[in-house]
Amino acid sequence: MYHLILSTLLTFQDPQLQLAMDLSKTNNFQKSEQILRKLDASNSDRNLILFYRLLNNFSQNNKRESEFLSEQIDERGLPIRYQVLTALMRADLQTWNDGDVSDIGRDMKRSRDKLGNEELGKEINNIQKQIVDKLSRLIKEAEDQAANSAKGDGDSKKDGKNKASKPLDESEIRTDGGTGEVISSKMRKLQERWSSLPPRERAASLQQLTSGLSPRHREQIENYFRGLSAAQHKR
């Protein structure tokens, strides 16, 4: 999101640097990064190159490289807006955790960016697979926590009653077991069909896919597929 705040550009003599900046501003972060890595930065260009490399890696959900680059930048020589964005990205990186909801959201944005720029092929497939796998693990963890919590509540109630009391049936302590295990295959099947489905069938398929999920997980999946729709419409 931070690249959207860069509303104005300075004029630079190095055409490769200018091209890399333009690519970054149109969400072509990987192509921009490929150019910037090859540049032999002068003292005047160094921090600007580091800033855009940080922006590129940040936007590609690459935490390790982003942290490294953020430590290399001396933003004091950059325009104020660049200094502010660098500080915001540094602070944001402190909250990043692999596999959480925010991490999945960043991967979803990365997928939309690549689809919007018609970057198709193995890499976009890998990103989409990571999204599905992370969502599946997150949902499975939530299921396990709910089941363990229900079991703990049941054990507490049983301990507080006469030992002859009937224990909770298995069906009483289970959630919708298995949702996390099957969501992965269902999402992949829907991904494969998504571009060919008319709007009404997309809505019905999405509702069926997310039925029974928590509001948080349902929202994440719905946002992902809406993003696919927006990217495909842009193309």
pLDDT band at 174 (very low <50, low <70, confident <90, very high): very low
Do 82 and 163 share a domain, yes or no?
no
Examine the domain organization and report whether 106 and 162 are in the same domain. yes
- Residue of 175 and 84 predicted with greater confidence: 84
Q: Per the structure block, which two tokens stand in for 43?
A: 């003292």
Predicted confidence at residue 169, as pLDDT, reads: 40
Quote the mean pLDDT of the chain.
79
Q: Tell which of 36, 71, 93 closes a domain.
A: 93
Closest to 11 in 3D by CA, of 22, 27, 23: 22
- Structural domain count of the chain: 2
Q: How far apart are CA 30 and CA 61, in angstroms?
A: 11
Residues 110 and 147 both lie in one domain: yes
Looking at the structure, tell me whether residues 109 and 172 fall in a common domain.
Answer: yes
pLDDT for 177 beyond 50? no
- Domain limit, last residue, from 39, 66, 93: 93
Q: For residue range 23-77, list pLDDT tens digits in order.
A: 999 999 999 999 999 997 777 789 999 999 999 999 999 999 999 999 999 988 8
If pLDDT is split at 50, 70 and 90, which confidence band does 8 have?
very low
Q: Cα-flanking dihedrals φ and ψ of residue 162, to 5°?
A: -60, 140
Which residue has tokens 């003292």?
A: 43
Q: What is the domain range of residue 112?
A: 101-234
Q: What whole-number distance in Å separates Cα of residue 119 and Cα of residue 63? A: 22
Per-residue pLDDT band for 9 (boundaries 50, 70, 90) equals very low
* pTM for the whole structure: 0.66
Same domain, 83 and 116: no
Is the domain of 105 the same as that of 68?
Answer: no
Domain match, 81 and 180 both: no
Nearest to 30 by CA among 93, 87, 111: 111
| 37 and 56 together in one domain | yes
> Domain ends where: 93, 109, 138?
93
Are 118 and 184 in the same domain?
yes
Same domain, 112 and 85: no
